[in-house]
Amino acid sequence: MVRLAVIGLFVVGVFFLIQYVFRGSEDEASAGEPEASEMVECQNCATYVPKQEALEWEWEEKGAGKYFCNEDCAKAFAEKKSAD
């Protein structure tokens, strides 16, 4: 049982290490970007998602960015819009 706990701790440790390394490289890529805590609303399903994870869709006719939780929502919204 103790061995299982040690293995569990090891797995969690490796997971956090990978996450740390991944975030480190991501921070370098997006240097100068605002903090990730900003939430934006998906225009299709009204789910709030972190701005960094949201899909930004530029609408030519309005020129303003809209946010979606994923590409499917963006497509669904575009289809709804074109159906009007």
Does 73 bind Zn ion (CB under 5 A)? Our answer is yes
Q: Look up tokens 């049982």; give the residue.
A: 1
CB of 17 to Zn ion, least distance (A): 32
**Residue 8 or 65: which CB sits closer to Zn ion?**
65
Candidates 80, 70, 74; CA nearest to 49 is 70
Contacting residues for 56 by C-beta, under 8 A, at least 6 apart: 65, 66, 67
Which position among 42, 66, 67, 77 is part of the footprint of Zn ion (CB under 5 A)?
A: 42
Does 43 bind Zn ion (CB under 5 A)? Our answer is no
- Residues at the site binding Zn ion, with contacts judged by CB under 5 A: 42, 44-45, 47, 69, 73
